[in-house]
A and B are shown apart, each in its own frame.
Chain A
Amino acid sequence: MSGLAPKHQRLVLVSVAMVVLIVAGLLAAWGLRSQADYFYLPEDIAAKPPEPGRAIRLGGMVQRGSLRTLPDGVTIAFNVTGREGNAVPVTYRGIVPDLFVEGSGVIANGRLMPGGTFEAETLLAKHDENYTPRELEGLSDAEAHEVLEKSVDQ
């Protein structure tokens, strides 16, 4: 490059940087398409099940009366329900989050097994005790709760 005029060196540098960044973008796009965990509700699984073994996220409510610990003491099984009454059986090996109880919202990362059971690798309990009014401008998300309240109206 030393023989090039200054202007050309800058051009070459810029082009190299651009090419690498475009490669990064393409690689990212490919990775994102193939590695994204898609979000499913139980009714989505009923309507259009994902291929078994693919990593997905399942969101819903823990069905009342369905939660039980298997004899090994560390595997739990429960059903996740959505808005339309479909239930997906879920198993999870591990220590459940502290706020995980029947009737609470849950998001599970894992895979649907060939038998139709969802094997969760992680569980996130959606449970928040920290409500604070707008006047106090405190910890939690007042707007989101208003949205929630609206959705309850329906």
Chain B
Amino acid sequence: MIAEIGLAALWLAAGLCLLQFIAGAIGARGDEQGPVSALVRPAAIVQALLLVVSFVCLLWVFAVTDLSVALVAANSHADKPLVYRISGAWGNHEGSMLLWVTILGLCSALIASLERRMDARFVKTALAAQGFVALGFFAFLLLSSNPFARLNPPAEFGAGLNPLLQDIGLALHPPTLYVGYVGLSVAFSFVVAGLVTRQAGPELARAMRPWVLAAWISLTLGIAAGSYWAYYELGWGGWWFWDPVENASLMPWLAATALLHSIGVLAARDALRTWTIMLGVVAFSMSMVGTFLVRSGILTSVHAFAVDPERGAFILGLLTIYIGGAFALFALRAGALAEGKRFVALSREGALVFNNVMLSAILAVVLLGTLYPLLSEALGTRVSIGPPYYNPVTAVFAVPMLLVLAVGPLLRWRRDRISRIAAPLVLVGVVLAASVIAVVAFSGAGVLPTIGLALAVTLAVASWLPLMGRNPRRVPLALWGSMLAHFGVAVSLAGMASESAFSTERLVAVRSGDTVEVGPFTATLGAVEPVAGPNWTALEARIAIAGEGVDTVLRPQSRTFTDPPQNTSEAALLTRWNGQLYAILGDAAGEGRWQLRLWWKPFVTLIWYGGVLIALGGLLALLGHLRSGVRRARIGEAIAQRRADRESEAAA
């Protein structure tokens, strides 16, 4: 019964989405006051409510393990802990598509109920675009991946969930990324509406900014969480593999980062109009391309993923219609947009343009690397692209970008002189030189890690320089946000460079009682014994760790899950303020020996702390911009009120 309610709600929502699109399209043609176009806002809001009902129904059938629903039978099992039964609802294709549409619907409802800065025609056009995007996904869900389909007769046991997916990090990872992807779809709808209604000024940028910021925060958190998950769950000790699935989430982030900064220029200075519009389309197309690459299975990935060429074809079709349509609209309309304001190269705008071009170059490099195996396979050679390509080629663009990032925020809008920022410039130069010398003298790290460490130190100092000569209490929240985010980049970079420069690894076959040295610690293997969990059994090693005032036991496991049967390695981690010790238990190596793999990774955790700081910075900026938006609206109202009072006084 619950499943039928969910399906009915989904169909009703699809109907309302069609209404939202039609009514919005009528509104877009200029008939803002017509009876049909008045329906667009209520349609969007009710649609979102229905979608929430439908999604809650799905959560419910997963929570109670209703095995007469095919999706539950294929992906869940009553023996699983409740939290993984619920997260199983979106740990599969159908459920994740429903989650996607639900978030999309919620965004439409938010636009419909809150967006007051733009005129009615713009909002209706944006909602029409939003409805059009959603319609494709509704068709996808209802026609080819119905999450509520019944199984007759019901299954006796569920098939379980891929044990790798039974993890709290991964339970939260997809929804976070989806919020990011869908947030970018709002930017896309706004950009399309801007092109249709020929509005591409600072108002558009201000209206888009909260959405892009929110999407960007989610993407940042999603990528950081995904990276940490891969780090401890895959048991390879690496935190980024340049795998297609990872690139699929990195590319929208790069585009969104560029978009965020160009929106800043457009909002503050009314420059970079066409460029911002194009980035808006590119950012959303990157999330669609990412989804396509991941779901279609045309690229092979180390990450377990459900793939299906048929679904790939569907997404490719949607991609062609949406992005092809938007680029066609761009080609037709962008030429007619009024030129933005001018600026000189040495200015805040100049630095941001530089940042944008470099981010776009990195995006191009990652995109080409991801697609090259496809191209090459079409020509008959099978290749794979890994770190030897990505690391140096992205660094060529990332290094100058980070250097400019150190000084860019100090520049004034429109026009500036070198002499005005000479003092901080010298400071940055001195810090950079000193840290390069220090790293080269004391560590003997490779070229890229050396550059990375030196840049990280420089940037960590430089990111707070905009405070110079300001009263900290009067610094706007958004500026705090940007400084914090830039500082987060430095922190993250420090972690990456330190991990690649200073990690030590030991791979040994030892007997119980043997001792291994790794980094500043000694590890002594104790017993290796079987243990049991709710739906798995495991061999667990007890490794006593001593050194640096630590005296603890790590328990890495080699787990065997029963439903479905699969083995996984559970790494054991010891987190210290200055790094992480990472232990993996391998197979029995004969003669009573066990394989152990141990890493000491100094400051590796900074990578993810940095990611969290970046996201926090984004959150501060979001709050700051929302607050100033409200204040601006209030001042506008007050002025209008005063004018009205004055007029009524004059009339009296």
Contacts and interface: CB of A to CB of B under 8 A. Distances in A.
A and B touch in the complex (CB under 8 A): yes
Nearest to B392: A31
B568 A98 contact: yes
Interface in B498-533: 507-509
Interface string A1-33: 110101101100100110011011101110110
Contacts of B342: 1-2, 4, 6, 9
Contacts of A153: none
B586 interface: yes
Interface string B331-368: 00000000100111100000001000110111011001
B361 A23 contact: yes
Interface stretch (B16-24, B33-41, B382-390, B632-640): B382-390
A139 to B, nearest CB: 5
Nearest to A147: B309
B74 A139 contact: yes
Contacts of A1: 342, 344-345
Interface stretch (A67-75, A77-85, A112-120): A67-75
Nearest to A143: B309
B587 A95 contact: yes
Given A2-B415, A130-B162, A141-B297, A38 B586 contact: no
A66 interface: no
Contacts of B70: 135-138
A39 B383 contact: yes
A124 to B, nearest CB: 7
A142 B365 contact: no
Interface in A131-154: 132, 135-144
B233 interface: no
B589 to A, nearest CB: 4
Contacts of B386: 35, 37, 55, 109
B646 interface: no
A138 B159 CA distance: 10
A73 B593 contact: yes
A94 interface: yes
B237 to A, nearest CB: 10
Main DSSP-derived SS at the A contact region: mixed
Interface stretch (B120-128, B195-203, B470-478, B559-567): B559-567
Interface residues of B, number: 74
A21 B396 CA distance: 12
Given A57-B384, A132-B159, A35 B361 contact: no
Contact of A141 (B92, B307, B382, B595): B307
B589 A39 contact: no
A143 B311 CA distance: 11
A143 B390 CA distance: 32
Interface string A83-101: 0000000000111101100
B291 interface: no
Contact of A74 (B159, B364, B589): B589
A72 B357 contact: no
Given A2-B342, A28-B368, A38 B382 contact: yes
B566 A129 contact: yes
A25 B310 contact: no
B180 to A, nearest CB: 24
B507 A93 contact: yes
Nearest to A98: B567
Contacts of A129: 564-566
Contacts of B397: 24
A36 interface: yes
A125 B444 CA distance: 36
Given A35-B388, A73-B509, A96-B587, A27 B393 contact: yes
A21 B361 contact: yes
Contact of A32 (B364, B372, B392, B396): B372
Nearest to A2: B344
A133 to B, nearest CB: 9
A132 B568 CA distance: 21
B302 interface: yes
Contact of B74 (A28, A57, A138): A138
Interface of B: 70-71, 73-75, 92-94, 144-145, 149, 151, 159, 162, 235-236, 274-275, 297, 302, 306-310, 339, 342-345, 353, 357-358, 360-362, 364-365, 368-369, 372, 376, 381-386, 388-389, 392-393, 396-397, 415, 507-509, 558, 564-569, 584, 586-587, 589-591, 593, 595, 597
Given A25-B368, A95-B569, A96-B587, 19 more contacts: A1-B342, A1-B345, A25-B364, A27-B365, A28-B393, A31-B393, A32-B369, A35-B385, A35-B388, A37-B383, A73-B595, A95-B587, A96-B586, A98-B567, A136-B74, A137-B70, A137-B93, A138-B74, A141-B308
7 contacts: A28-B364, A38-B382, A95-B507, A124-B302, A135-B70, A138-B70, A143-B309
Q: What are the 3 A-B residue pairs with the smallest beta carbon separation, nearest first?
A: A73-B509, A39-B382, A95-B586
